[in-house]
Amino acid sequence: MSGDPEKSEQPERAAVHGLSADFVAGLVEWLTIPSIGNDPARLGDVARSATWLADALRRDGWPDVRVWDEGPALPAVYASWPSADPSAPTVLVYGHHDVQPVDPVEEWTRPPFEPVVEGDELFGRGASDDKGQVAMHLLGVRAHLAATGGSAPAVNLKLFVEGEEEIGSPHLPELLDAHRADLASDLVVFSDTPVYARDAPTVCTGQRGVYGAEVVFVGGSSDVHSGRAGGGVPNPVTALARLVAALHDERGAVALPGFYDDVVPPTDAERADYASLPFDEDAWLANSGGARVAAGEEGWSTLERVWVRPSAEVNGFVGGYTGPGLKTIVPARAEVKLSFRLAPGQRPERVAEALRVFVAEHTPPGIRSEVIPRGDGVPPYAVDINHPAVVALREVVEAALEQPVRFARSGGSGPAAVLHQSLGVPVVYLGVTLPDDRVHAPNERVVVSQLLRGAEAAARLWRVLPERLT
């Protein structure tokens, strides 16, 4: 399928090729703005980043561009470009323009906000996550128009680029609610995920949800010397350790009552895709905090465990004396932070209720327990792989990357499910960045050619979607 990019069967590729230098120059400029959403000193930069994007969209000809900066959400950018055909489907593209902090900054070999292109790599904070994939869409629309020769896209396009994804999108539901009419669409194209591997590209079809809570166990009103009472009173640290120990059964499954009742497993076709992906366990472990072995629920592969199966994790445990040396006390208090990754079908509120029941059942006499929910959680999400938009998406990505594309999932949690829940339409994932782009870490980079192929895929998608969605 490779060959002369100028040939007429690949008009999107030719258009992308012609616009690539301008694309890189624009992205480099955008990446100089340190739009770190969790840093109060950088809030002006988040606003500058939104303004930069709005200006770029206007330059590209988007007829309606707005910066939503009325608060409390950090500034988001909205733009729309109606199709010449009013009956065409409406597609909302999602991305974000805020970036992760840069600590430890001393580990960057190039300053994080002085982007540099070296060969096919562009280094800088946000290059991959997620300014690169937003800029990819701007390029995709330009290429789509160039390839089709139209003055408006074949679909009604909307773009929504939020400014606080890296701090957990805390105001996303409010923002979606406040702009419901603007955001109304038939489909969301979500662009904030990578492919599985450069030589094993994938289309993501869903993400796990998450629910988190703290559990506090209190025994006495103060610590007591173990010479006085050791062996004679309940120890809340021991009691809470027993609760944590009971959180998984001997098969590695989560032991909350009814935890798996609502889980919708992946289809056989999806499992077959996951199984056919190249999996280097050593490399996976090295990229998973340097874990020594894979472990988890019996009956599922590692990828399935982290993509499609729910999990329970203790994120932190503290109780009693934790300073240097020993202090022979029976502690008064212990606390754990728990979080549950949720599989499609599960609902955070049902898991919250199951946790309350579980904690009550595991609170021994003499201990007062409290469950403190940390937010409402994020629901899981998965799209039907036979949905015509998914089928089309896979085809355009295969064409752009000139490789077979398999289905995959993401084990993380994000705004895709919130968008689905709020807007009531399917969400599909168009992401072409690479798993070794070092997102959230020092020396983040993006591979420029991946973004160009992604822009080509997007341009193709806008061309083919009208016939696929009717």
Within residues 373-392, the interface with a second copy by CB under 8 A covers 374-375
The site string for a second copy over 315-344 (x = CB under 8 A, - otherwise) reads: xxxxxxxx--xxxxxxxx-xx-x-x-x---
Name the phi and psi angles at 254, rounded to 5. Answer: -75, 130
DSSP per-residue codes, 20-88: HHHHHHHHHHHHTS--BTT-GGGHHHHHHHHHHHHHHHHHHT-SEEEEE-SSSSPPEEEEEE--SSTTS
Of residues 101 through 160, those in contact with a second copy by CB under 8 A are none
Cβ at position 210, least distance to a second copy in Å: 6
Residues 204-243 that bind a second copy (CB under 8 A): 208, 210, 212, 214, 219-235, 237-238, 240-242
Contacts of 428 (CB under 8 A, 6+ apart): 187, 188, 189, 190, 203, 205, 383, 387, 389, 390, 393
- Smallest distance from a second copy to CB 321, Å: 4
Among 359, 367, 446, 461, binds a second copy (CB under 8 A): 367
Q: Nearest distance from residue 358's CB to a second copy, in Å?
A: 14
Please choose, from the candidates 33, 44, 45, the residue with its C-alpha nearest in 3D space to the C-alpha of residue 112. 33
Determine contact, residues 88/165, Cβ cutoff 8 Å. no
Residues 6+ apart with CB under 8 A from 303: 274, 277, 279
User: Which C-beta is closer to a second copy: that of 25 or that of 245?
Assistant: 245
Which residues are CB-contacts of 70 (< 8 A; sequence separation ≥ 6)? none
Minimum distance, C-beta of residue 229 to a second copy, in the bound complex (Å): 4
Min dist CB 360 to a second copy, Å, is 16
The span from the CA of 289 to the CA of 103, in Å, is: 17
Single residue of 84, 105, 245, 283 touching a second copy by CB under 8 A: 245
Rounded Cα gap, residues 12 and 133, in angstroms? 17
| Residue among 34 and 414 whose Cβ is closer to a second copy | 414
Using the minimum distance from each CB to a second copy, give the nearer residue, 322 or 470. 322
Residue 86 or residue 232: which is nearer to a second copy going by CB? 232
Cα 461 to Cα 447: distance, rounded to the nearest angstrom = 21
Instruction: Compare residues 86 and 323 and give the one whose CB is closer to a second copy.
Output: 323
Q: Residue 410 interacts with a second copy (CB under 8 A)?
A: yes
The minimum distance between CB 403 and a second copy, in angstroms, equals 24
Residues 280-319 that bind a second copy (CB under 8 A): 285, 287-297, 302, 305-306, 309-319
Sequence-distant (6+) residues with CB within 8 A of 183 are 78, 92, 158, 160, 176, 423
What does the per-residue mask of binding to a second copy show for 161-200, with x meaning CB under 8 A? ----------------------------------------
- Please report, for residues 9, 56, 89, 181, 184, the alpha-carbon distance to residue 77 in angstroms, rounded to integers and kept in the order given: 34, 11, 21, 15, 15
Does 25 sit near a second copy (CB under 8 A)?
Answer: no
Residue 7 or 242 with smaller CB distance to a second copy: 242
CA atoms within 13 A on the CB side of 274: 20
Which of residues 116, 197, 244, 391 is near a second copy by CB under 8 A?
Answer: 244
Q: Smallest distance, Å, CB 322 to a second copy? A: 4
User: Applying CB under 8 A, which of residues 3, 63, 366, 404 lies at the interface with a second copy?
Assistant: 366
Nearer to a second copy, 119 or 231 (CB): 231
Q: How far is the CB of 290 from a second copy (least distance, A)?
A: 3
Contact (Cβ atoms closer than 8 angstroms) between residue 437 and residue 128: yes
Task: State in angstroms the smallest separation of the CB of 188 from a second copy.
Answer: 20
Site membership for a second copy, residue 264 (CB under 8 A) = no
Q: What is the DSSP string of 178-247?
A: HTHHHH--SEEEE---B-SBTTB-EEEEEE-EEEEEEEEEE-SSS-EEHHHHTTTS--HHHHHHHHHHTT
Kindly state the smallest distance separating residue 393's Cβ from a second copy, in Å: 22
Give the interface size with a second copy as a residue count (CB under 8 A).
85
DSSP secondary structure string for all residues of 277-290: S---HHHHHHTTTT
Of the pair 69, 223, the CB lying nearest a second copy is at 223
- CB-nearer residue toward a second copy: 308 or 459: 308
Measured from the CB atom, the residue of 234 and 466 that comes closer to a second copy is: 234
| SS (HEC) of 435-469 | CCCCCCCCCCEEEHHHHHHHHHHHHHHHHHHHHHC
Shortest distance, CB of residue 236 to a second copy, whole angstroms? 9
d(CA 376, CA 457): 35
- Least distance in angstroms from the C-beta of 107 to a second copy: 13
Residues 426-465 that bind a second copy (CB under 8 A): 440
Sheet holding 333-342, edge to edge: 333-342, 209-218, 368-373
Nearer to a second copy, 245 or 264 (CB): 245
